[in-house]
Amino acid sequence: MPILNADSVEFISRSTAQTRRVGMRLGGLLGTGDLICLVGDLGSGKTTFVQGIVSGWGSLDQAASHSYVIVNMYRGLHNSRLYHLDAYRLSSADEAVMLDIDEMLVSGPLVVEWADQIEAALPNEGLWIHLRMIDDEQRDMLLSARGERYHELLSLIRRRVFGVA
Residues 24 and 55: beta-carbon distance below 8 Å: yes
pTM of the predicted model, to two decimals? 0.91
Q: How confident is the model at residue 165 (pLDDT cuts 50, 70, 90)?
A: low
Distances (CA, A) of 45 to 100, 116, 146, 159: 26, 16, 22, 22
Q: With 0-12 CB in 10 A as exposed, 13-18 as middle and 19+ as buried, what is 148?
A: exposed
Average pLDDT, the chain: 89
**What average pLDDT does the segment 137-148 reach?**
93
Indicate whether 66 pLDDT > 70: no
Task: Summarize the confidence of residues 115-130 as an average pLDDT.
Answer: 95
What is the rounded CA–CA span in Å between residue 89 and residue 115?
12
Q: For 146-156, write each residue's pLDDT tens digit.
A: 999 999 999 99
The average pLDDT across 109-133 equals 95
Q: Please state the rounded mean pLDDT for residues 43-63.
A: 90
pLDDT attached to residue 1: 44
Can you tell me the mean pLDDT for 24-32? Answer: 95
Report the pLDDT averaged over residues 1-24. 83
- What is the model's pLDDT at position 2? 47
> Which of 5-9, 102-106, 108-112 bottoms out in mean pLDDT, i.e. has the lowest?
5-9
Residue type, 165: A
Q: Which residues of 38-72 are buried (b: 16+ CB within 10 A; e: fewer)?
A: bbbeeebbbbbbbbbbbbbbebeeebeebeeeebb
| Centroid of chain to Cα 36 | 4
Share of the chain above pLDDT 70, in %: 95
Mean pLDDT of all residues in 109-138 = 94
